[in-house]
Amino acid sequence: METNNKQMLFLTLTKLRAWVFLALLLILFEVWSHTIYGRSFLANPYNLKSLAFFAAIPLLLALGQTFVIISAGIDLSVGFIMGLAAVISAKAVAYFGAMGLPDFPAVMLGIMVACLVAIIPGIINGILISSLGVPPFIGTLGMYGVARGAAFLFAGGMTVSVSNSILKWLGNGLIMGVPVLVIIVAIACIISHFLLSQTRFGQHTYAMGDNKAAADRAGINTKFLTIKIYALAGLFAGIAGALYTARFSAGSAQAGEPLLLISIAIVVIGGASLFGGSGTISGTIAGALVIAVIQYGLVYVNIEPFWQFIAVGIVIILSVLAEQAQSKLWGAK
């Protein structure tokens, strides 16, 4: 009985490991900050706002990646789809502005165009994987190149700058002290959580990731489901790209390049298995915060920057080890 309780506790901890990591990190930096500066790390609105800002765009990319990874896939193209959307949104907003549209409709139309364009490579990814039998790793690697090239072509190899007050507000403004960017990403998190946990689409995603043959036998249209999942990842990458442009008033083809591996790391730290079938949005949120806190915190306490890589790497390894232990002790999931 007592062993059972201990086991239950361990199981809960491994399931919530991203939040456990986050709590441990926050305690670490809290103590550290008190020791060297004599002030709090957490009870400091400035730090909280900076962290939320830092985590927002990578988290957006990771939300789409969460669906993909739960379905036992991987999307290597999200980084450059984000870059493509960043360039397209900059060009489109500037274009609609030049046509004489006021700032607000120009931004709305521009972002819509960017998102529609971003969904296209997602749909193609889905078709390649579901109907043509291309492994996700290879199919999306191909799209990684296509989206990258397309983004550079559209941009003419340059950074496309755009000046629009509403766009700038989306990327940098505040609503009652909370960054607009963070509010948008929070809404995206709520919608994603709802989709994954409350809808048939979410259930089917888990089912397909768990056992595709069984899902097929159960009558799930896994082909269409796969296309929807990758289209969703494309859409999130599109929003991320548009928000990047909003934030820096310029779209760059390589905007998402450094974020691709980060997005996968976030999902893995968040507790999803790369073999599919498990993962949650709340885990992904924690994963994004873990990476942001490590990178921000180490600069804050003035540690040699190269420790960031080591720290993030260790957290990824620990996270996967925790998952291994979990599935060994209690069987898969």
Partner 1 sequence: MIKLFNRKAKALLLSLGIALTSTAAIADNVKIALIPGLTADAFYITMRKGAEAAAKAVGAELIYQGAAEWNVGLQVPVLDAIIARQPDAILIAPNDKDQLIEPLKRAHAAGIKIITVDTFIGNGVYQTGKGDADFPMSYVASENVLGGQMAARALAASIGEKGKVYVSSLKPGVSTLDQREQGFREEIAKYPNIEVLDTQYNDQDPNKAAAQFQAVLGRTPDLAGVFGANLFSAVGSANGAEQAGVAGKVKIAGFDAPASIVDDLKNGTLEMTIAQHPAEIGYFGVMAAYAVITGNPAPTKIGTGFTVMTKDNIDDPNVSKFLYTE
Interface positions with partner 1 (CB under 8 A): 37, 44, 46-47, 49-51, 53-54, 57-58, 149, 152, 155-161, 163, 172, 179, 244, 247-250, 253-254, 257-259, 292, 295-297, 299-302, 304-305
Least separation in angstroms between CB 23 and partner 1: 20
Q: Give the number of other CB atoms < 10 A from CB of residue 26.
A: 17
Question: CA nearest 170: which of 184, 189, 191?
Answer: 184
Give 179's strand partners.
174
Whichever of 151 and 322 has its CB closer to partner 1, that residue is: 151
- Comparison of 9 and 178: residue with beta carbon closer to partner 1: 178
Using the minimum distance from each CB to partner 1, give the nearer residue, 222 or 252. Answer: 252
DSSP string over 92-154: HHHHHHHTT--HHHHHHHHHHHHHHHHHHHHHHHHHHHHTS---HHHHHHHHHHHHHHHHHHH
238 touches 119 (CB < 8 A): yes
Instruction: Tell me the torsion sign for CA atoms 190, 196, 197, 201.
Output: positive
Nearest in space to 295 (alpha carbons), one of 51, 56, 58: 51
How near is the Cβ of 96 to partner 1 at its closest, in Å? 18
CB of 264 to partner 1, least distance (A): 15
- Which residues make beta-bridge pairs with 251? 160
* CB of 69 or CB of 243, closer to partner 1: 243
In the complex, minimum distance from the CB of residue 259 to partner 1, in angstroms, rounded to a whole number: 7
Taking the least distance from each CB to partner 1, the nearer of 69 and 250 is: 250
Q: How far is the CB of 39 from partner 1 (least distance, A)?
A: 10
Cα 333 to Cα 329: distance, rounded to the nearest angstrom: 10
Q: How far is Cα 159 from Cα 255, in angstroms, rounded to an integer?
A: 10
CA 321 to chain CA centroid, nearest Å = 22
Chain centroid to Cα 304, Å, comes to 27
Cβ 71 to partner 1 shortest distance, Å: 27
CB contact set of 191 (below 8 Å; sequence gap of 6+): none
Q: How many CB atoms lie within 10 A of CB 37?
A: 12
8 Å CB contact between 241 and 84? yes
Q: CB 130 → partner 1: shortest distance, Å?
A: 30
Q: How far is the CB of 304 from partner 1 (least distance, A)?
A: 7
* 177 SS3 class: coil
Q: Which is closer to partner 1, CB of 138 or CB of 299?
A: 299
**CB 155 within 8 Å of CB 253:** yes
The two tokens of residue 89 are 């949104």
Q: Any idea which residue has 């730090």 for tokens?
A: 47
